[in-house]
Amino acid sequence: MERAECNRNCWISAAIAGVVVLLFTAGLGDLHWLAGVFLGIVTFVLLGALLVWLLCHDRPELFQESKGLTGTDWQRAAMESQPEALLVSGSLGPEVPPPGAQMPIVAGALPAQSPAPKPASVPEAEVIPDLPLPADDLKRIKGIGPKLSDRLKEHGVTRYEQIAAWDAAMVADFAQRLGRLGGRIEADDWVGQARLLATGGETAHSRSVDKGEVG
């Protein structure tokens, strides 16, 4: 809205309000037409001036970005319009005042905040390497003697849980690796024995090994 049109609309609104005040106050109580006219004129002048100031004046102090101007441009324009005694040198950029110079106070300025203390460094948790699990005595499984136990360890098999997890493909693979002795995997049911021993159970053969009856 152009400023002239805005001013005209504001004064028309104020005139309407003044007429309304005149009509309501002229015949009430002891008030006469002169008093009503006076109140109407006062209403017209004050309300019109207020509406023009609120609606028709540019408000650069709001720092709104419009007509290609950024908030920084509005801020610079507002500060340049203030008396030099109220300006802080370098308010748009950091600058250290000379020693002994007194910095003028700007209304609404906030004191500089000290930087937040850095949190104390937390020592990193010590990483404890995973220790290998102790090997089981595979000879407690019937069909595994000292030679087969060593052969299995060469292939990385040292615990009951590993044998207990074998499926048909793994059984066939290890039967081929062990050669002519590989048939004992299914013949002696190594997988079933390993599952029992892995859960803390015992077999007749494992008890004999524990007693030293079987080498």
Summarised one tens digit per residue, pLDDT across range 88-138 is 444 444 455 555 555 555 545 455 556 666 656 555 656 665 667 799 999
The pLDDT assigned to 70 comes to: 55
Domain edges within the chain: 3-57, 138-210
**Which tokens belong to 135?**
């090997």
**Residue 76 CA to its chain's centroid (Å):** 35
CB-CB contact of 15 with 44 (8 Å): yes
Contacts 24+ apart (CB under 8 A), 178-183: 178/148, 178/151, 181/147, 181/148
**Which tokens belong to 117?**
């203390």
User: Which residue ranges in the chain fall short of pLDDT 50?
Assistant: 60-66, 84-94, 107, 109
Q: Virtual CA dihedral for 184, 189, 195, 198, nearest 10 degrees?
A: -40
